[in-house]
Structure formats: structure tokens, C-alpha cells
Amino acid sequence: VRPSVNQVEYHIGSQDIDHVITKCQNENITFMSFSSLCGPCEIDDNRNSLTNGELVTSIGKTYNKTGSQVSLRYIVQQALEGKMGSVIPKSNNMKHIQSNKNIFDFELTKEHMMTLQAATKPAGSDGDCDV
């Protein structure tokens, strides 16, 4: 059976997976990002580098958005540019679900996209957090 979707953990700070995305595109398989806010990448009990880390929150201030919204927008913007298929953020919290939906009224600049793309791995994924 030929797959139609390839779900891969992908978020700011993920290793370079362009080869996976290219393979999916060549095989007409939708690339889907999961764990886009890096749930297991917690710095401590209350901090996740992709939701409230220094880099994403400082960029978020530019747009009046949260770090989570910046992190999700980074992936969605890549999808809109044709790099990947979709993203599926998980939440049981209605406040977070509402926040996750509010990422379509702004666009990250090319400079912000490049800064986020160059970020190192989030804490909890074999590296120091600079996200």
C-alpha cells in the first residue's frame, strides 16, 4: 500500500529534513508536521522553548503574537510556500486551540524566517536551546 501522508516530527530547530520533504514531493506524498511546538522539548515544568523561549517571543512582539503563534506560523508559512503539506498542532486546551487558529493574519519576514531556520535544536532534543 502506497502512503499518502508522511507524518514527521518537525519544528523550529529540527534537523535538516529537506531530503525527506523532497522525497515526499517527488513521490506525491503529503509531508505533515507533528509535534510542531515540540511538546517533549520542555526546559522546565513551565517553559517550552518553542512557546515562550526568548527567540520566538522577541519575534512575536514584532507582530503582537505569542511565541507559539510564531512557531506555528513558521511551519505554516513554509507550507503556503509549497515546501511542505500541513501541520497538526495538538492541544486539549481551548485557549491554546484559539491561539493556534490566529496565525493567518500576519506573515513572518524573510529575515525572521531565516533566523528561525538557523536556530539550534530546542532543549530536550540533544542540544542547548537558543530558540
43: Cβ contacts below 8 Å, ≥ 6 apart? 49, 53, 123, 124, 129
Nearest to 85 by CA among 30, 20, 21: 30
pLDDT of residue 38: 73
Percent of the chain whose pLDDT exceeds 70: 82
Whether the per-residue pLDDT at 65 is higher than 90: the answer is yes
Which residue's C-alpha cell is 514527521?
A: 8
Query: Residues 32, 87: contact at Cβ < 8 Å?
Result: yes
Which residue's C-alpha cell is 522553548?
A: 49
86 or 24: which carries more pLDDT confidence?
24
**87-129 pLDDT per residue, tens:** 878 888 899 889 989 999 999 999 999 998 888 655 444 444 4
Pairing of strands 30-34, 86-88: parallel
For the chain, the average pLDDT equals: 81
Query: Where is mean pLDDT largest: 19-28, 56-65, 92-101, 114-123?
Result: 56-65
Average pLDDT over residues 39-52: 60
